[in-house]
Structure 1
Amino acid sequence: MALDGKTIAFLVGPEGIEQAELTEPWKAVTEAGGTPKLISQEQGEVQAFNHLTPADTFPVDVTLADASADAFDGLVLPGGVANGDQVRTFPEAVSLVKAFADAGKPIAVICHGGWVLVEADVVRGRTLTSWPSLQTDYRNAGATWQDQEVVVDDGPFTLVSSRKPDDLPAFNRELVAAFGG
């Protein structure tokens, strides 16, 4: 399969993750033969949401303190307003994202998950999409923002981005291609 032997990091905050934006890419990675691992600030579980309604919890595999870009072949940044806002405030998360970018490893981001990309200063000169409310943040950080279901930018590292849960089929297809490439 396309991702045999590859381990993909999913970086999230402790709560507010948009459940479908975590579970659907996770399923795509698994079905392609990859091994997904959930990274968060602390051990235990993280709380996902269906928009504003609490949904399922998911066990953390690796804490930020123990995470290294060297241990993974790619990175997924799920959305959720609270999730995206929390993750960008964790210095270890910002450093981890920067390490993935500096190593040239692919990153896939959906919805509000990209706030940490802005914080890590890795979108300058890149083209991507997101939930529309982030477009000014991306532009102010030097990126070109487009309103498309999925954008793939093959710059110094492959950056796959999508806007919302409705875009998940295209997002998953492109992230598997990027991580398998």
Structure 2
Amino acid sequence: MSEAWVSEIVVRPVRPEEHEAVGAMTVAAYQADGLLVADPEYVHELADAARRAEQGELLVAVSDEGELLGSVTIVRPGTPYSEISREGELEFRMLSTAPTARGRGVGEALTRAVLNRARELGACRVVLSSLESMTTAHRLYDRLGFERLPERDWQPVPNVWLRAYAAEL
């Protein structure tokens, strides 16, 4: 087993000097999964980690050696990045794992950090939207107690439907 597989994952707030690398990693993760085909303009939103950190909370997962492994954006209802959250809920978006870090538990570590942050803030539920094709993420959400919230499914651009999920806290 390579040393990279035994590294500890640390989840923490992004640092300003990491914004550019986090944006590039997020874009690379979405491109690796072919997720930008339906809405190529979304790349600009993914790349702008500085704005995500300013408008919400941007967490990163790093190895104990400091390697950037993934990121997630946490938003509150009514803020610029919120899509489906309502009063008392916390929403997360743009969960991404570096293509080189797949299969190491990065997505789970970031999602658990979101759930913990929601508890700290007194939220009653965590919500998210996900493309139907993100089946690996859906398995993770199921394992962590998320359930489908079909009444909040929505269409951000023509021919792209997002499935809503929620976890009660």
TM-score range, shorter chain: 0.3 to 0.5
- From the CA coordinates, give the structure whose radius of gyration is larger: 2
With structure 1 as the length reference, what TM-score do the two structures score? 0.33
Query: Could you tell me the TM-score, scaled by structure 2's length?
Result: 0.35
